[in-house]
Amino acid sequence: MKLIVDLKDRQYPIWIERKALYHIDEIINTHRKIAIIHDDAIPSKWIEIVKEQCENCVIFSFPEGENSKCFEQYQYLLQQCIDHHLSRKDAIVAIGGGVTGDLAGFVASTYMRGIDFYNIPTTILSQVDSSVGGKVAIDMGSYKNIVGSFYQPKGVLIDPDVLSTLSIRQQHNGLVEALKMGLILDENLVCEFEKEQLDIEAIITRSIDLKRQVVQEDEKENSLRKILNFGHTIGHAIEGAYGLDTYYHGECVAMGMLFFIEDKELKNRVLKIYDKLSLPAVPDYDVDTLMEFISHDKKGTQNVISVISVAKAGSYSIEEMNYEQIRLKLLRGAYEESNRK
Ligand SMILES: O=C(O)C(=O)C[C@@H](O)[C@H](O)[C@H](O)COP(=O)(O)O
């Protein structure tokens, strides 16, 4: 299946197909130097399959984990591009999860003021969400995505077969972002999580198509796109406060969403799905510590933050909340309005 992200002055394809990894020229112009960027944990077979299809290829790798979304690795990768004489006509291909897409995309957006980049997402999180939409960034210390840009890929190649080597924890971590998409935009997608057997390919396709539609509507997150940040205000704070590699990103988003689901029945529905995905419970956090992280939220101004709430599955509201209101949410806790004590 091919979906098109249509941004009026430019478009790019999202190709979702088993075995697509063996046909990258369907999406990628390989008649130039290609710099493949990946982390050091990705199975080498996926890199080999792509490398074989490139006539002129260099490969740069970095240590796995969120901690690599940092200036040191950003600088290292830029230096590799320089040392290997990448020109403006060449391209970067990010093969990996959200960290790889964000880091490699940011390198592509700034090297020589921007060269082509393509995403080949290999985790559920990147296949359902982060590979599309052009949010590329690095972290500063524990502040997530605080340095970055909106820089769209030239194409996204999604091959569900590459998920076969993913750990269960990573699979469940990524599924949270698809559940998020269902909670804000499509109750039928939420229902997919309540089936005995999860149809991962259907979940990926539906989630990334919803993401595509939102990005088309509001590429630079001036309004509608803020809804994709549901759960992230408190989620990013927990992720930063506990160290970027303690909890995975999706696990933190799952925690963050609970604070903004007001309906008891819906929250219990969501908690049942979390149990099915063996997601970690919200830790005993320090309110002041989280508030410090929240004060750097990109949807915030000096006095208020745009926060997203879900009262009914498949719907959302965006509200400007002051910091005191957010603090009260934290004081009240995540499990209010639920049967979980
Ligand atoms: O694409 C978006 O817009 C999102 O908010 C998607 C999020 O799920 C994703 O984690 C994103 O990277 C977070 O964005 P940020 O702007 O909060 O850094």
pTM: 0.96
| pLDDT (0 to 100) of residue 336 | 85
Give the residue from 119, 68, 112 showing the smallest Cα distance to 93: 119
| pLDDT (0 to 100) of residue 278 | 98
| pLDDT (0 to 100) of residue 338 | 80
Same domain? 159 vs 245: no
Mean predicted confidence (pLDDT) in 213-234: 97
Catalytic, 296? Answer: no
List residues near ligand 1 (CB under 6 A): 129-130, 133, 135, 144-145, 177, 221, 225, 228-229, 232, 298
Taking only Cα atoms into account, the Rg of the chain, rounded to an integer number of angstroms, comes to: 19
Catalytic, 232? Answer: yes
Annotated active-site residue in 66, 119, 154, 177: 177
Q: Which residues pair with 135 in a beta bridge?
A: 150
Domain holding 102, by residue range, is 2-165
Percent of the chain with pLDDT over 70: 100
Q: How many residues does the chain have?
A: 341
| pLDDT (0 to 100) of residue 302 | 83
Same domain? 152 vs 202: no
Same domain? 182 vs 328: yes
Q: What is the pLDDT of residues 34-84, one digit of tens each?
A: 999 999 999 999 999 999 999 999 999 999 999 999 999 999 999 999 999
Same domain? 199 vs 319: yes
Whole-number average pLDDT of the chain: 97
Helix (H, G, I), strand (E, B) or coil at 156: strand
In one-letter notation, the amino acid at residue 122 is T
Same domain? 153 vs 221: no
Same domain? 247 vs 262: yes
Half-sphere exposure of 42 (CA within 13 A, CB side): 29
Spatial separation of the C-alpha atoms in residues 313 and 168, rounded to whole Å: 26
ipTM, two decimals: 0.97
- Which residues have C-beta within 8 Å of that of residue 181, sequence separation ≥ 6? 128, 129, 189, 206, 207, 210, 211, 228
Q: What is the pLDDT of residues 279-329, one digit of tens each?
A: 999 999 999 999 999 999 999 988 999 999 999 999 999 999 999 999 999
Spatial separation of the C-alpha atoms in residues 118 and 12, rounded to whole Å: 10
Annotated active-site residue in 113, 222, 303, 324: 113
Same domain? 158 vs 176: no
